[in-house]
A and B are shown apart, each in its own frame.
Chain A
C-alpha cells in the first residue's frame, strides 16, 4: 500500500495546527460557556433581554442550516415548528395555569404536534421524483397554513393579537441568559459533531447528488424526512424556550416572514457551517432590535440588499469569507488519513440464484409511441452481456427499466431472482443490483474515501459522532482503486479528479455495494485507450473471478467483441438479435442496422 495511507497511526485523529478538531471544539465550547456564564453581569438589561431571545432564534437558525446548508433543502418552514413550541406553551399556560405538570404537558404537546406536522410535511415534500424546488414551496405553505389556523382560533389562540399575560417560569434575566446561552452552545456542539461525522458527510452526499444516493441503495426520501423531523423538534424546543422567557405568543413567531428571516440569517452568516447560522442570527437579531425602531423600512431595505449581495458575490457568507482569508491554517489541511481494509466477501458460491436478470415481455410506451416493446431475455451469473444498437434504440431506457420498478409500462423484471415489481431503485439495489451512470456520477464535494464510505452505508452504518479511520471495501472495489491509482488519492476531493478517475471512482463505489448484477451505461465513453484497456481487464476479472453478471451498454464494437460473452442487439425498441459474439459480429442484420442499408448493398462495398 502507498505510504500516504499509513502516514499516521490509525489511532491518532487528524491534526489541525497541533490540536485535534475534537480538542479545539471542546476548547472553543468551554470558552463560550465561560463567556455566557459571566457576560450577564457586564451587559445592560436591554441587551441581555435581546440576547436571550436571539439565543433561542439562533437555535432555530442552526436547524435551518442543517436542513439547507448541509442537506440541501431550502426550507421556509422551520418557523412553523418554532411557532408550535411557542403556542403549545402559551395555550397550555393560558388554559390550565402555570405549574409543573402543565409545563410537562406543554412540552409533550410541543413534541407530539411538531413530530406529526413534520412527518406530514416530509411526506408531502419528499418522495421519489419530487424536486428541491417543490420541497421549498411546500415548506412555504406550512407556516402560512399554521398562521391562518392561529388567526381563526378565536380566544383559544388569541387570533391576530396572540396570547399575553399568562404566568411562566420565574427566573432572573441572568439565569435566563445562562440557560438560553448554554442551550445554544449545547445544540451547536452536538450539531457540529454530527455534521463533521461520517453521517454529516452522508447528508452532504444527499445534497450533492440525490440520484447517486438512491442508486447506492439509500432511501433518500426517508432520510430527508428523518432530518426534517429531528430538526423540527429542536426548532420547536427553541420556540418553547422563547415563549417561556417572553411569556408572549404572537402569530409572527410562526409566520413565513420569520421563516425567511431565519434563512437570511444563515445565508448572511454562512451556510453549511453551523457557526455562520449563529453569527448571522445573533447579529441580525441584535441589530434589528436597535435599528428597526429608528429606521424601520430602511433596515428592512438593508437586509434585502445584503441578502442579494451575499447570494451573488459571497455565497458562503461571512464565515466563508473569513475562512477564505485564513485558508491554509484551517480544516483544508486536515486531510484525514484513511486506511483501506479488504473485506472477505461471502462470494458468489453461496448465493442461491444463478439467474441474474430475467426480463419478460417488457414494454415502455409514451402514449402511442413505444420505446421498448416485447423485450425478453435472461442473463446468468458470470456472463458479460453487451447491449448494442444505434442511438435511440432504447438501450438506456432498458437499463432504466431494469433498475427502477416504476419505469416500465408492461412486463416482468427480476433481478437476482427477485421480481422488482414497482419498487424504487434503492430497494432494487438491495437485491444485488449496481448501476453505473453514463456520465460519471460521484459526490463532487466529498473525498474519494468519503464517496466510498457513502456507498457502504448499508453494510456499515456511518458513525454519528466521528469519522472512521478505516474503510472496509470488497476486494473488487480495492482492485479498481489500485489499478486506477485512486488508492493513493483517497483524501482528494472528487471534484478535482479527471474524467477517467471519476469513472473509476464511480465503478468502485458501485462495486462497494457488493452487487451480483452490474449495469454499466457506456463506461468507457471519453476514456483514453489505456484507461479503456484497464476497464476491460477489471470487467473481465469481475466476471470470471467474482462471477458477477454484467450488462454493458456500449457503442464501440471492438471493445464489445473483446470482452463480451454474449451480445444483444436492440433495434427500434425490440431485440433484433441475441447470440454469441461471433454470431452477432458476422450477422448481416447487424451491418444492416448500423449502416442503414440492406445487407446486400452493405456487402457490395469494398
Chain B
C-alpha cells in the first residue's frame, strides 16, 4: 500500500516537472507548445552526452536546462512570434518543429534506445519496504521547481511583468511592459524546464528520439485542467497522477497510461473551468 502511495506521489512529481514548462507557456501565450516533447528529448540527450563526458550530475542539469532554453528562445524568435494571431497554426508549426528535432536527434544519435546510469542508485529503507532512492529525489526536484517558479513569479520584476501579461496583455503593454520580451523569456524558460525534466527522467526510463511523446498527452491534459495556475497544476498532478498509478497497479498498465487523458476530458466536460478554481 505504501508503495502505491509513494508511486503516486513520485509520478505526480514527474508529471509536475514536465507540465510546469508547458503551463507557463500556455499561461502567457495561450498556445500549447507541441514541440514540448521534443525539448524533453533534447534534455534526455543532454543528460546522455553529459554522462558520456563524465560530467557531474549537478552540472548536467543546468546544462540541459540551458540547451532547452536556447532551443526555446530560437523557436520563439523564428517561429512562434509570427503566429500569435493564429494559435492553431502555432500548434502545427511547433508540431513541425517537433518532427524536425526528432529527426535531427535520430540522424546524430541513431534510433536505438540508450540508457543513462542514475546518479543516485540503490534504495532507501523505509522500515517495511525499500524504495528507489532516485524516485524519491524526484519529489524534492518537483518541490524545488515549484518554489523557484513561485519565487520567480512573485519576487522578481520579470515575474511581475509576466503575471501582468497573463492577466491582461493589452493593459500590460499600455503600462510599458515589453510583452514581446516577456514572451521570449517565458518560452525559453518553459522549454528549458522541458529539457530539465527530460534530463531528470532519463535515469528512470531510457533515451530514444521519441522519449518525450508518451508524456505529451498527459501533460497537455493536465495543463488544460489546471487552466494556467501553478497550484491547480500541482493538485491536478496529485489527483490524476494518483488515479493513473492506482489504475496501472490494480487494473492494467495500458489503461493506466490513458487515465489522465480520459479523466481530464471528462472533468473538463462536466466542469469547464477544471481544477482552476477548486
Residues of A within 8 A of B (CB): 68, 72, 74, 123-124, 127, 129-130, 132-134, 136-138, 140-141, 144-145, 148, 151-152, 260, 263-264, 267, 297-298, 300-301, 303-308, 311-312, 315
Question: Which of B6-14, B65-73, B88-96 is found at the contact surface with chain A?
Answer: B88-96
Q: Is the CB of A312 within 8 A of B258?
A: no
Q: Is the CB of A304 within 8 A of B86?
A: no
Q: Is the CB of B83 within 8 A of A140?
A: no
Given the interface pairs A124-B269, A129-B272, A136-B88, the reply to whether A312 lies near B93 with Cβ below 8 Å is yes
Question: Residue A315 contacts which of B86, B87, B99, B217 (CB distance < 8 angstroms)?
Answer: B86
Instruction: Output the residue of A133, A145, A151, A307 with the most chain B CB within 10 A.
Output: A133
Q: Is the CB of A304 within 8 A of B269?
A: no
Give, as a whole number of angstroms, the nearest-CB distance from B111 to chain A. 8
Question: Residue B217 contacts which of A72, A141, A303, A305 (CB distance < 8 angstroms)?
Answer: A141
Give, as a whole number of angstroms, the nearest-CB distance from A413 to chain B. 22
When C-beta atoms are compared, the residue in chain B nearest to A72 turns out to be: B88
Given A304-B98, A307-B93; 12 other pairs, CB 8 A cutoff:
A148-B254, A148-B255, A152-B255, A263-B92, A298-B103, A298-B107, A301-B104, A305-B100, A307-B95, A308-B96, A308-B100, A315-B89
Give, as a whole number of angstroms, the nearest-CB distance from B75 to chain A. 10
Distance A315 CA – B90 CA, assembled complex (angstroms): 11
When C-beta atoms are compared, the residue in chain B nearest to A130 turns out to be: B272
Distance A604 CA – B92 CA, assembled complex (angstroms): 64
Q: Which residues of A contact B258 (CB under 8 A)?
A: 144-145, 148
Q: Is the CB of A151 within 8 A of B261?
A: no
Can you report 25 residue pairs joining A to B where beta carbons are below 8 Å apart?
Answer: A68-B88, A74-B91, A123-B269, A127-B269, A133-B30, A133-B31, A133-B88, A134-B224, A136-B91, A137-B220, A137-B224, A141-B217, A144-B217, A145-B258, A148-B254, A263-B92, A298-B103, A300-B102, A301-B100, A301-B104, A307-B93, A307-B99, A308-B97, A311-B92, A315-B86
Q: Which residues of A contact B257 (CB under 8 A)?
A: 148
Distance A90 CA – B255 CA, assembled complex (angstroms): 24
Q: Which residues of A contact B262 (CB under 8 A)?
A: 141, 145
Q: Which residues of B contact A74 (CB under 8 A)?
A: 88, 91-92
When C-beta atoms are compared, the residue in chain A nearest to B273 turns out to be: A129
Q: Which residues of B contact A312 (CB under 8 A)?
A: 79, 82-83, 93
* B121 contacts A by Cβ under 8 Å: no
How many residues on B have C-beta within 8 angstroms of the other chain's C-beta atoms?
40
* B106 contacts A by Cβ under 8 Å: yes
* B188 contacts A by Cβ under 8 Å: no
Q: Is the CB of A145 within 8 A of B88?
A: no
Q: Which residues of A contact B255 (CB under 8 A)?
A: 148, 152
Q: Is the CB of A137 within 8 A of B32?
A: yes
Q: Is the CB of A304 within 8 A of B96?
A: yes
Q: Which residues of A contact B89 (CB under 8 A)?
A: 311, 315
Give, as a whole number of angstroms, the nearest-CB distance from B240 to chain A. 13
Q: Which residues of B contact A311 (CB under 8 A)?
A: 83, 89, 92-93, 96
When C-beta atoms are compared, the residue in chain B nearest to A140 turns out to be: B217
* B265 contacts A by Cβ under 8 Å: yes
A-B complex: 6 closest residue pairs judged by Cβ atoms: A304-B99, A307-B96, A304-B100, A301-B103, A308-B96, A311-B93
- Per-position 1/0 for B103-127, Cβ under 8 A of A: 1101100000000000000000000
* B60 contacts A by Cβ under 8 Å: no
Q: Is the CB of A141 within 8 A of B265?
A: yes
* B252 contacts A by Cβ under 8 Å: yes
Distance A184 CA – B274 CA, assembled complex (angstroms): 42
Distance A264 CA – B96 CA, assembled complex (angstroms): 9
Q: Which residues of B contact A124 (CB under 8 A)?
A: 265-266, 269
Question: Residue A304 contacts which of B30, B97, B221, B266 (CB distance < 8 angstroms)?
Answer: B97
Give, as a whole number of angstroms, the nearest-CB distance from B272 to chain A. 5
Docked complex: B23-50 residues within 8 A CB-CB of A = 30-32
When C-beta atoms are compared, the residue in chain B nearest to A148 turns out to be: B254
* B136 contacts A by Cβ under 8 Å: no
Given the interface pairs A133-B87, A134-B268, A307-B95, the reply to whether A300 lies near B252 with Cβ below 8 Å is no
- Per-position 1/0 for B241-268, Cβ under 8 A of A: 0000000000010110110011001101
When C-beta atoms are compared, the residue in chain B nearest to A256 turns out to be: B217
Given the interface pairs A133-B31, A134-B224, the reply to whether A152 lies near B93 with Cβ below 8 Å is no
When C-beta atoms are compared, the residue in chain B nearest to A121 turns out to be: B265
Instruction: Output the residue of B100, B254, B258 with the most chain A CB within 10 A.
Output: B100
Q: Is the CB of B261 within 8 A of A144?
A: yes
Distance A129 CA – B224 CA, assembled complex (angstroms): 13
Q: Which residues of A contact B79 (CB under 8 A)?
A: 308, 312
Distance A604 CA – B162 CA, assembled complex (angstroms): 47
Q: Which residues of A contact B100 (CB under 8 A)?
A: 301, 304-305, 308
Q: Which residues of B contact A127 (CB under 8 A)?
A: 269, 272
Distance A144 CA – B224 CA, assembled complex (angstroms): 17
Q: Which residues of B contact A152 (CB under 8 A)?
A: 252, 254-255
Q: Which residues of B contact A123 (CB under 8 A)?
A: 269
Distance A136 CA – B32 CA, assembled complex (angstroms): 10
Give, as a whole number of angstroms, the nearest-CB distance from B258 to chain A. 5
Give, as a whole number of angstroms, the nearest-CB distance from B13 to chain A. 23
Give, as a whole number of angstroms, the nearest-CB distance from A544 to chain B. 40
When C-beta atoms are compared, the residue in chain A nearest to B265 turns out to be: A124
Q: Is the CB of B92 within 8 A of A307?
A: yes
Q: Is the CB of A133 within 8 A of B99?
A: no
Distance A140 CA – B219 CA, assembled complex (angstroms): 13
Q: Which residues of A contact B82 (CB under 8 A)?
A: 312
Q: Is the CB of B103 within 8 A of A300?
A: yes
Q: Which residues of A contact B221 (CB under 8 A)?
A: 137, 141
Give, as a whole number of angstroms, the nearest-CB distance from A69 to chain B. 11
- Per-position 1/0 for B147-173, Cβ under 8 A of A: 000000000000000000000000000
Q: Is the CB of B254 within 8 A of A267?
A: no
Q: Is the CB of B217 within 8 A of A301?
A: no
Distance A339 CA – B197 CA, assembled complex (angstroms): 62
When C-beta atoms are compared, the residue in chain A nearest to B30 turns out to be: A133
Q: Which residues of A contact B104 (CB under 8 A)?
A: 301
Give, as a whole number of angstroms, the nearest-CB distance from B113 to chain A. 16
Distance A144 CA – B265 CA, assembled complex (angstroms): 14
When C-beta atoms are compared, the residue in chain A nearest to B97 turns out to be: A308
Q: Which residues of B contact A301 (CB under 8 A)?
A: 99-100, 103-104, 107
Q: Which residues of B contact A307 (CB under 8 A)?
A: 92-93, 95-96, 99
Distance A264 CA – B224 CA, assembled complex (angstroms): 24
Distance A312 CA – B79 CA, assembled complex (angstroms): 7
Q: Is the CB of B254 within 8 A of A151?
A: yes
Q: Which residues of B contact A133 (CB under 8 A)?
A: 30-32, 87-88, 91
When C-beta atoms are compared, the residue in chain A nearest to B214 turns out to be: A144
Give, as a whole number of angstroms, the nearest-CB distance from B44 to chain A. 18
Distance A127 CA – B272 CA, assembled complex (angstroms): 9
Distance A211 CA – B121 CA, assembled complex (angstroms): 56
Give, as a whole number of angstroms, the nearest-CB distance from A147 to chain B. 10
Give, as a whole number of angstroms, the nearest-CB distance from A150 to chain B. 10
Give, as a whole number of angstroms, the nearest-CB distance from B91 to chain A. 6
Q: Which residues of B contact A298 (CB under 8 A)?
A: 103, 107
Q: Which residues of A contact B98 (CB under 8 A)?
A: 304
Distance A260 CA – B92 CA, assembled complex (angstroms): 9
Give, as a whole number of angstroms, the nearest-CB distance from A260 to chain B. 6
Give, as a whole number of angstroms, the nearest-CB distance from B27 to chain A. 13
Give, as a whole number of angstroms, the nearest-CB distance from B164 to chain A. 20
Q: Is the CB of B217 within 8 A of A132?
A: no
Give, as a whole number of angstroms, the nearest-CB distance from A252 to chain B. 14
Instruction: Output the residue of A74, A134, A308 with the most chain B CB within 10 A.
Output: A308
Instruction: Output the residue of B31, B92, B220, B272 with the most chain A CB within 10 A.
Output: B92
Distance A303 CA – B95 CA, assembled complex (angstroms): 11
Docked complex: B210-248 residues within 8 A CB-CB of A = 217, 220-221, 224
Distance A152 CA – B251 CA, assembled complex (angstroms): 13
Given the interface pairs A304-B96, A311-B83, the reply to whether A297 lies near B88 with Cβ below 8 Å is no
Distance A140 CA – B258 CA, assembled complex (angstroms): 12
